[in-house]
Structure 1
């Protein structure tokens, strides 16, 4: 039976998790870079009824498998409101990840250790940030954590073959949400070595009886086959060359080629060390104090500590070997690191140096936010001007800075009141203030520009209610937020190709059609000579409306240019 203290702490952590992760849902629309793309794909699936071949506008979208889009569609079916539905999969996945981390930690060591492991995950900045976004990463983190949980129930707490098979099945579901969903299965490598070296804490039988182990591979492939089998059958039997190209791009270019010969987001090999150090604060502050107990656990050959820790290392190494890196790639390794730390956290948090480090972080963050807010309210510092210019915010819109100042004051006040001796409560307060303030006060104020909602409303107001608007060099948020009759000319095509198609289309009915164009270098001269009407700035891009009858004759068919190809390549890199 859990103690009264542990039961109280469990519910406090559950309330904190729900408060941090759910606050702000329904108060903003999808933001770039990924959210509008994924919601647009899911919305088109819902409207078309084609759940097997995702589309972005008129083109097939082959960058990612479809499971996350299905989850978005299921959320919309439940609430029938995209502003609410688009964040529900991430919320539920994050809560599920925390529960799995807690429960595995509880079973491996104690209920209190499980609570510390889940708390370490929740309070890491990157986890909360990603959980409050409609990206695929929170979902794939859940499936990878579920897979590791299943393996852990068998390899460390078993034998439990059903959990082993369930973990392999979850890894397969991770693959059809994002190709790297298999990462939890890397745990089998250190497990085999530890079994060979006769480590303590391994409960599963030695690797014999190959049939049961092989069923894990079957479960993994069955999960993938739930999507891949029907999709391949349809793509290869319907004779549509676009479907064949979709299969080739998704299964080869977007997986093996993307990893082995990345064409975007290139970073140095040590990049993820910086991600762990900064993005996983405040948990990462404890890492220097963990080296000693981890070294002792190595000496004792404790597989309960070193199986998750070794898997964490393998995940980081896997992504480090690819030139293409983004900070969220290693997020699935966070619960594994927290589980490896779990049995030591209770003791570490009693140490004066650890409490002082956490106190210092909270105080510096609070003072930094307070200083930034006060500086912006009192004058016009460079960072304020840069944000206002980049976000298209009108000068004098001070709500964001008041919110930052209030958040900073609240965190600073909590630090001065709680002091280092109550550092755990201070971290909880800091986490609650930071993410509730973001969800309630900051994100809603930035939403009109960040989602392009205000821009597309202005476009419709200028074009008129019955005018067809053709999108040229568009982004996903423009099509998602478009109102009234809208046309687009392909996303992957270069701006010049889209312009040529758009001018030809608009010229067929110049009285009822207009072009909405992103101002890029390749089109600058024609936009100027056509007397393009400036609409606004959104997502750091400038947009104009062009009447087809004002386009000069020599701009009706522009030749392809290096600038246009560069713009198209940049758009694809973002995708």
Structure 2
């Protein structure tokens, strides 16, 4: 700590950690509300689900492309409707504002977790800054989907559970926790209740306080959770029948957990993916006294302190991270976005290790850390121009020179302050990310629309549909063209059905992947390919009869 340089900016921010964190995320998001098209695959599908909810009145059971969509519960789409109603946002800006507000809620929940687990203002502020300088978090904050809101409810449920186990007024906290778990479940799925409950049980086992599970307030909270979920299930059955519920519980929950039909990855997936997602803070590994972890004395000390109330907050954070990581690793379905609830405790632990807490010296060597993070920034800055040279498409990436320059200058600035301690390095990183996101979001990402968005093909379909063409699609990711086409599209994986429709109707507009078109043995002679668009990782053809 003797090398820690004083900073007036830091002192002002430390006095107001919540407002400081919100101000920074506002700077990162304020100019990016309507800057690009919606991308493949989730953004365009969720936009279509939202419009089907608003236009057709599907408020309990979501619909996509005119059919029931059991993948996602309704809370996130209600949240978008609230934003649509109370703000001047319209069109795609509703979805990007939804992302920004979700990111702000997630940030506040992370800061609140740090404060709840015993961190002072210094570490609480640093926790928020660690999150705000994580590249993966910044990316998700500018991508429209429900995961940040979902993770926020999980974190708030953890906060309430921790307070319930450490407060005489446990009733209100437990009931709030279970209500939040119910809302989280209706935002994305059962991980919304599994994450906090698993953390609680593991924590009580570690602390040898399992007797706390006898608290009657837990049963009241559980009743609230069950009531919330049953209310939605009953409403869904009334609206859409029992087939929808069978799909939810069997295909979407049981099969995804045990034998996923989608996104199945090997056991070690998160061991590889998580360090990449945590960049640049993954470099903290090289600034820690790792040798200490391999000494028996260290673990004897850890075990000896487990009953101490002084380590309650630290232990909850570690157990929240470790139990969640093990849970995700054991699931059949593995998607990188599922790790977001783990960012909150890890951000707190990283901040605590970097700045120290309660008079304890930092355990992370800030000089080594800033050199490591500077190397990440400079590597990206050097590699980006080569990526542009080898970019295999016939449109240019815009603004890349500015993003490269900002990252490079950020890396050099970190090297310049590497001996100034943790606070100065954090401020440099925050400034770098605030500046970096502007050209990235306003120029570079929009220039990727021809590659990442189905808008071009969808709007062409819309034009032909308005002229009387029948919209048809073969073997596509369901709903990806419907939003921009402005209509439901007849989707089928049966080529015989495609051939039958083409024979029956005089005017058809068909979209399909090029590989299926090339394999089409009995392809009718009276069809013409009128457009080809490479979307995400494969070419799609637009075919007219």
Bin the TM-score by the shorter chain. 0.7 to 0.9
Unaligned runs of 5+ in 1: 199-204, 236-242, 549-575
1:481 Cα deviation (Å)?
Answer: 0.8
Whether 1:229 aligns to 2:239 is: no
Cα separation, partners in 2 of 1:403 and 1:458, compared to 1, 3 Å: farther
Residue aligning to 2:65: 57
2:318 to 297, 309, 314: 309
Structure 2 vs 1, CA of residues 403 and 280 (structure 1 numbering), >3 Å: closer, same or farther?
same
- The structural deviation recorded for 1:217 is 0.7
Match of 1:32 among 20, 37, 40: 40
Distance 1:341 1:90 in 2: 25
| Alpha-carbon displacement from aligned partner over 1:115-167 (angstroms, at most 9, x marks no partner) | 22222233222222222212221121011011011112222455432122101
2:272 pairs with 1:270: no
Mapping 1:400-419, distance limit 5 Å: 400-415=399-414, 417-419=416-418
Which of 77, 88, 91 in structure 2 is aligned with 1:82? Answer: 91
Taking the aligned partners of 2:212 and 2:481, their CA distance within structure 1 comes to: 56
State the distance in 2 between where 1:253 and 1:217 align: 25
More deviation in 52-61 or 415-424?
A: 415-424
Instruction: Give CA deviations for 1:75-113 in whole Å, capped at 9, x if unaligned.
Output: 333445131111333322221222122233224131222
Q: List per-residue Cα deviations over 1:330-370 (Å, max 9, x = no partner).
A: 22122123334554331399678433333332343234334
Distance of aligned partners of 1:398 and 1:441 in 2 relative to their CA distance in 1, 3 Å threshold? closer
Out of 4, 14, 17, the position equivalent to 1:6 is 14
CA root-mean-square deviation: 3.1
Q: In 1, are the aligned partners of 2:13 and 2:125 still within 8 Å (CA)?
A: no
Please say if 1:361 is aligned against 2:356.
no
- Name the CA shift for 1:121/1:401 in 2 (closer, same or farther; >3 Å): closer
What residue number does 1:181 align with? 192
* CA distance in structure 1 between the aligned counterparts of 2:542 and 2:13, rounded to whole angstroms: 63
Aligned to 1:254: 252
Cα separation, 1, equivalents of 2:69 and 2:496? 19
Whole-angstrom distance in 2 between the partners of 1:207 and 1:547: 64
- Residue 115 of structure 1 corresponds to 125
Do 1:368 and 1:408's aligned partners in 2 also have CA atoms closer than 8 Å? yes
- How many residues get paired? 511
Counterpart for residue 3 of structure 2: none
1:37-62 CA-to-partner distances (Å, cap 9, x unmatched) read: 11111111111012122221122111
- Following superposition, the deviation at residue 433 of structure 1 comes to 3.5
For the residues of structure 1 that align with 2:230 and 2:442, how far apart are their CA atoms?
A: 41
Summarize deviations over 1:443-495 as a string: whole Å, max 9, x none.
1222244222233344556x485232513124433211115xx55213xx315
CA distance 1:520–1:165, change in 2 (3 Å): same
**Correspondence for 2:7:** none
1:565 matched residue in structure 2: none
Instruction: Evaluate the alpha carbon distance shift between residue 33 and residue 69 of structure 1 in structure 2; reply closer, same or farther with a 3 A threshold.
Output: same
Q: Which residue is 1:571 aligned to?
A: none
Moved more, 135-144 or 335-344: 335-344
Instruction: Report the CA distance shift for 1:4/1:31 in structure 2 as closer, same or farther (over 3 A).
Output: closer
State the SS of the aligned residue for 1:86: helix
Partner of 1:521: 516
SS in 1 for 2:237: helix
Quick one: distance in 2 between partners of 1:93 and 1:398? 28
CA separation of 1:260/1:367 partners in 2, compared to 1, >3 Å: closer, same or farther? closer
The answer on 1:424 being equivalent to 2:460 is no
Is the counterpart of residue 213 in structure 1 residue 198 in structure 2?
Answer: no
Pair 1:471 & 2:469 matched: no
Classify the secondary structure of the residue corresponding to 2:532: strand
Distance (whole Å) between structure 1 residues aligned to residue 36 and residue 56 of structure 2 = 25
Describe how 1:68-217 pairs up with structure 2 within 5 A: 68-78=76-86, 79=88, 81-107=90-116, 108-156=118-166, 159-179=169-189, 180-182=191-193, 183-196=195-208, 206-208=212-214, 210-217=215-222
1:449/1:455 contact within 8 Å kept: no
For residues 498 and 543 of structure 1, do their structure 2 counterparts lie closer, same or farther at Cα, with a shift above 3 Å needed? farther
Which structure ranks higher in relative contact order (CA pairs < 8 Å, sequence separation ≥ 6)? 2
Task: Tell whether the 8 Å contact from 2:18 to 2:111 is kept in structure 1 after alignment.
Answer: no
Match of 1:440 in 2: 442
Q: SS at the partner of 1:87? A: helix
CA distances 1:144-193 after superposition (whole Å, capped 9, x unpaired): 01101111222245543212210111011111112210111212212332
Distance in structure 1 (CA, Å) of the matches to 2:467 and 2:415? 59
